[in-house]
Each structure stands twice: as C-alpha cells, then as structure tokens.
C-alpha cells in the first residue's frame, strides 16, 4: 500500500470516528390542546358576559385585588419564592413542551447500543457535547463511559429520575394549592361583600357595590381554580409522567449496554415494556 493510500485511509477513519451517530433529540412545539383550551374557555366566558348585557358589570377592582392578590399571598405562605419562580417557568414550558416520539426514543437507545458494540463503550463519550440540552441522557452516557456496573448504574439513575420528578412536582403542588385557595378567597370576598351589604341597608347607593363584591369574588375564584390552575396542574403532571417514562426507557437501555446484551434482546424488551405514547 502506498503512502498516499495510507494517508487517505487514516483520513477516512478519523472522519468516521469524529462523526458519531446523530441522536433524535426532542424538539419543542406549541401545545395546541393547551392553547386552544385556554383560549376557548376565555372566549366562552367573554361571550357569555357580553351577551348578558354588560361586560363592565363583571369588572370590579376590589374583587380582583382580593381574589388574585389574596390567592397569590396565601400560596406564598405555603412555598418558597423559588418554588413560585419555578412554577412560572414550568407554565412557560407548558406552552411549548419538549416532544419526542416513542420510535425516536427507541431508535436512540438501539443506535447507542449498536455504536458501543461496534466502537467500544468509550466511544460514546464523543456524544456528550451534543447532549447539553438533555442532561439526563448526557449523565447516563457519562456513567456508562466511566464503567459504572449494571446494579450501581440502575441505583444511580433510579435516584436521579425520582429527584427530577419530585423537583418538578413541586410546581404541581403550587398549582394545586392555587386551585384550592382561589375559591376560598372568593368565599372570603363574598363574606366581606355581605357584611358591607348588611351594614349599609340604610344607604341604597352602597348596596350595589357591596353585592358586586360578594358575587364577583366567587366568580373570579371559580374561574381561576377550575379553568386555569387545576387544568394546568393536571397537564404538568402528565408531562412529568411522560418525561419519567422516557428516562426509565433510557435507563433500561443503559443497563443493557453495560451488560453488552444482544441488540435483538434489547429491541424486544423495548417493544414489550415501553409505556410511551
């Protein structure tokens, strides 16, 4: 073999080794059902108010302050400020969550398994830099490359999946707490309005505003709780469960890779045990 051919072969080897597999990472896209649901609910309420004759009659600043700010204040007592900020971040992410198909998750695991069998487990280290946006998968590959054995690897990843889930579930708790407090603040507003009403029976001009507070606070509290906070909590809980299922699937694949199991066995396991939608 000539020197030029040798150089060319080395160049090909370096090129192939510097271009490992391309994983199918999840992308973000708008959650159509969430956006349509919130928009439809808001439109229905506004339409009903307009058709009732007077939209301005349902606008009352004292009632808004009592229910909206009161709900937030009471919830702040139950949680840290950082929990509230995390919940706001989770809400923004709910609008455009990560989305990954079941087939893509399975393909990623099988590609990783094939690549490690063909090039050695240490070759997986080349993928780390491309997984900055996927910390769990990046961490999983790092543990595999470090030579973590099957049982230890399973324990570490199980703990991390649990911690990720629990951290995000704090935001679910915040949303559910908001859903609990909002109707209660509405009830408090109703009592305040009734007290004002009974205290001003001799002043007809004061009866109207007092009655407005009494009724509108209940209305505001119900809308916040049952049309916004409770549905958002359920949606976030669903997304967390999906993420945990994906991570569990990656964990199973990682354990299989460390045990050097045959690709066919891994493929059968994924087909029979995956709970991904």
pLDDT in tens, the chain (277 residues): 444 444 344 333 443 444 567 788 788 888 999 999 999 999 999 898 888 777 777 888 888 999 999 999 999 999 999 999 999 999 999 998 888 888 888 888 888 888 888 888 888 888 877 787 788 988 999 999 988 888 899 999 999 999 999 999 999 999 999 999 999 999 998 888 888 778 777 777 767 677 778 888 999 999 999 999 999 999 999 999 999 999 999 999 999 888 888 888 888 888 876 665 5
- Residue at 266 is within a domain: yes
- Residue at 228 is within a domain: yes
- Residue at 7 is within a domain: no
Judged by phi (left if over 0) then psi (alpha if -120 to 50, else beta), residue 171 lies in alpha
Q: Token pair for residue 127?
A: 């993928």
- Residue at 202 is within a domain: yes
- Residue at 20 is within a domain: no
- Residue at 235 is within a domain: yes
Domain boundaries, position 111: 60-273
Q: How many domains does the chain have?
A: 1
How many Cβ atoms sit within 10 Å of the Cβ of residue 67?
Answer: 29
- Residue at 126 is within a domain: yes
Angle at 13 between CA 7 and CA 16, to 5 degrees: 140
Contact status, residue 14 vs residue 108, Cβ threshold 8 Å: no
Encode burial over 229-251: b for 16+ CB neighbours within 10 A, e otherwise.
Answer: bbbbbebbbebbebbbbbbbbbb
CA distance linking residue 250 with residue 260, whole number of Å: 15
Nearest one of 189, 182, 193 to 66, comparing CA atoms: 189
CA distance linking residue 99 with residue 258, whole number of Å: 27
Nearest one of 222, 198, 193 to 60, comparing CA atoms: 193
- Residue at 212 is within a domain: yes
């Amino acid at each position: 073999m000539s020197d030029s051919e040798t150089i060319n072969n080395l160049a090909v080897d370096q090129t192939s080794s510097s271009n490992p597999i391309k994983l199918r990472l999840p992308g973000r896209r708008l959650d159509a059902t969430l956006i349509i649901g919130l928009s439809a609910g808001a439109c229905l309420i506004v339409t009903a108010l307009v058709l009732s004759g007077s939209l301005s009659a349902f606008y009352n600043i004292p009632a808004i302050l009592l229910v909206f700010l009161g709900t937030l204040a009471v919830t702040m007592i139950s949680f840290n400020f950082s929990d509230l900020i995390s919940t706001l971040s989770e809400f923004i992410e709910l609008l455009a969550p990560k989305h990954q198909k079941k087939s893509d998750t399975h393909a990623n695991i099988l590609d990783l398994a094939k690549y490690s069998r063909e090039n050695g487990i240490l070759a997986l280290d080349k993928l780390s830099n491309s997984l900055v946006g996927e910390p769990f998968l990046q961490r999983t590959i790092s543990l595999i490359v470090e030579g973590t054995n099957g049982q230890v690897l399973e324990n570490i990843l199980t703990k991390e999946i649990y911690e990720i889930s629990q951290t995000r579930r704090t935001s679910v708790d915040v949303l559910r707490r908001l859903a609990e407090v909002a109707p209660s603040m509405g009830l408090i507003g109703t009592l305040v309005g009734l007290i004002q009403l009974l205290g001003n029976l001799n002043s007809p001009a004061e009866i109207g505003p007092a009655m407005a507070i009494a009724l509108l606070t209940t209305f505001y509290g119900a809308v916040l709780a049952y049309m916004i906070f409770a549905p958002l909590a359920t949606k976030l809980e669903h997304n967390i469960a999906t993420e945990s299922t994906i991570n569990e699937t990656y964990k199973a694949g990682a354990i299989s890779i460390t045990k050097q199991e045959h690709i066919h066995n891994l493929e059968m396991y994924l087909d029979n045990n995956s709970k991904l939608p």
